[in-house]
A and B are shown apart, each in its own frame.
Chain A
Amino acid sequence: MLDEYVSRKYRDDWRPPVDANLIKNKVAIVGIGQTKFTRDSQRDELEMAVESIKAAVDDAGLKMEDIDGMEMFTIDRLAMPMVISTLGMKNIRFTSEVSFGGGAACAVTMHAAAAVATGATNYVVCFRSLNEASGQRYGRGDSYADYMLKAVTPHYGYHWPFGFVTPLAWAGVWGKRWMHEFGITREQIGWWPVVLRENAQNNPNAIYHGRPITHQDYMESPMIVDPLKLHDCCVDTDGACAYIVTTVERARDLQQTPAVILAAAQSCPMEQEIQTIYSRPVISGLVETWYAGQELYRIAEVGPDDIDVAQLYDPYSIGGIIQLEELGFCERGESGRFIEGGDNIRVGGKIPVNTSGGLLSEAYIHGFNLVIEGVRQIRGTSTNQVDNVELSMVTAGPGVPSSGIILRKD
């Protein structure tokens, strides 16, 4: 079980040949849109969804009737027909929903790309809208008990009666193992939230714009669920993001610089649960991220050294930090040392990460804001722009079946 992960040897003999991949270099993201990110929107999720979609359509220079496909999260609370009707889209011929919460953040891109690559549809809009701060909060157990104990995830019955009821705790268990096995210190972990908060200071759309923190602030912040402190946690957000996917051929006729999809991948390794995966031989790593990364590198035919900037899905600091190891930006167990002082992950460093502020300091739109920032880095329009970006990576939520994309310049 998980032999490839444990031995760190990814085999390609049974995987689809790269030459046959219809997505690679043939599909692009051409329009991006978002609402304001707030902590109390005073709006419903439909209103935010259609605003972000309209913004993405306008950004691409398309008309609403051009959009003929729609893609969203299974766990989005909106009914898709309502979104389509509200927007007045007349030509929808392809719809799809992707499961696994934040793990689907880039799977949505992949599914949309597969649909346009096969000619099933021309322009697919992907969106996510949520009142995570003012509405139902995933980080609060009482908000989710009924949902989580339903048939879809019945194994939670083995966890909930013990008060083991929130994502922070589920992650804290493997986080503590990781700290224990590799001697990772609290001081080292603190650099991730500090650098992301710095990035947010240049991004006027970030929730924590105008509210910098120092490393000392991090160290003094309260513990929420040991081993995770307040500043280790993502910022629950109200807001929506959308983007549009089409073929590279069509993209070249549109007004924006296309962000071409060099590779898109999903990963669903063995012994998968929804965030509580403790039966694996190793729980101190992010197995899904490793598999997604290996598949991305295999398809793209590049390695970690070729990636210029990365948006790594970080619902909590450790979820981002360990990805540095699993994606090969540093050695296994070395990520604590790698981020010390922050320079390696700042703009200008070895691998600049989460340049909009990430889920910790920009917004938690379930990873959609990371995809949009990945596109901006290709366009050259990020508020923390990395010089001469050729390849821009985005990953999705760990601890669930996950996904990732590598974007490149046309």
Chain B
Amino acid sequence: MTVEYNAEQKIPYPALWHVLYRSSTPFWDGVKEDKLLLQKCKSCGSFLNPPRPMCPKCQSMEQEWVPATGKGKLYSWVTYQESPHPAFKAPYSAVLIELEEGVRIVSNMVKVKPEELQIGMPVQVTFEKVAEDLILPKFETMS
């Protein structure tokens, strides 16, 4: 089960993404092409998550974007029993995925009921078009 969206409500996400948070645009451009990209420091090789203009370890301002394998494990999750926002129909779960690269990202599982979620379960990325202008990286159990 993924999140069921209410089609009449706008999903909250930053419309002025490229102005507010330029570091993140390559990630969302990648998602549009079904790619999960991670920001990496060119100087010391650390993954930067969330993306940012400077590496906190070596202060380098040179980064590159590398494709993730898309595989990982369920690190933790929560299940909303009541909807906190009209765009989302409860119940639904939000999950924290630890990717093979060690980077953790927030997402939703598709085709999995909340009661089937287990910390450590192997997952892989899939892409879901949730609105006319928005594709999101989501996760399914690894077959």
B85 with A141: CB separation less than 8 A: yes
Whether A169 contacts B105 in the complex (CB less than 8 A), given A142-B84, A149-B14, comes out as: no
Cβ contacts under 8 Å, A164 to chain B: 78, 94, 106
Interface size of B by CB at 8 A reads: 40
0/1 string, B6-31, CB within 8 A of A gives 1: 00000111100100110010000000
Among A140, A165, A227, A270, find the residue whose CB has the most chain B CB atoms closer than 10 A: A165
Interface residues of B in 72-103 (CB under 8 A from A): 75-82, 84-88, 92, 94, 96, 103
**Among B76, B92, B114, which residue has its beta carbon within 8 angstroms of that of A180?**
B76
Q: Are A223 and B81 in contact (CB under 8 A)?
A: yes
Which chain B residues in 57-80 approach chain A with CB under 8 Å? 57, 75-80
- A48-82 with Cβ < 8 A to chain B: none
Whether B108 is near chain A, meaning CB under 8 Å from some CB there, is yes
Q: Which residue of A lies closest to B104 (CB)?
A: A278
A163 touching B119 in the complex, CB below 8 Å, given contacts A150-B20, A158-B105, A276-B106: no
Check if B43 is an interface residue, CB within 8 A of chain A: no
For B134, list chain A residues within 8 Å (CB): 161
B107 at the interface (CB under 8 A from A): yes
Q: Which of B20, B57, B88, B108 contacts A151 (CB 8 A)?
A: B20
- Does B56 touch A at the CB level, under 8 Å? yes
Instruction: Kindly state the separation between the CA atoms of A1 and B102 in the bound complex, as whole angstroms.
Output: 14
Is A163 in contact with B85, judged by CB distance below 8 angstroms?
yes
Q: Determine which of B49, B81, B103, B104 lies in contact with A222 in the assembled complex, contact meaning CB atoms within 8 Å.
A: B81
The residue of chain B having its C-beta at the shortest distance from the C-beta of A160 within the complex is B12
How far apart are the CA atoms of A140 and B50 in the complex, in Å?
24
B93 closest partner in A (C-beta): A226
Identify B106's interface contact among A162, A172, A227, CB under 8 A: A162
Residues in B lying within 8 Å of A, measured CB to CB: 3, 11-14, 17, 20-21, 24, 49-50, 56-57, 75-82, 84-88, 92, 94, 96, 103-108, 114, 119, 130, 134, 136
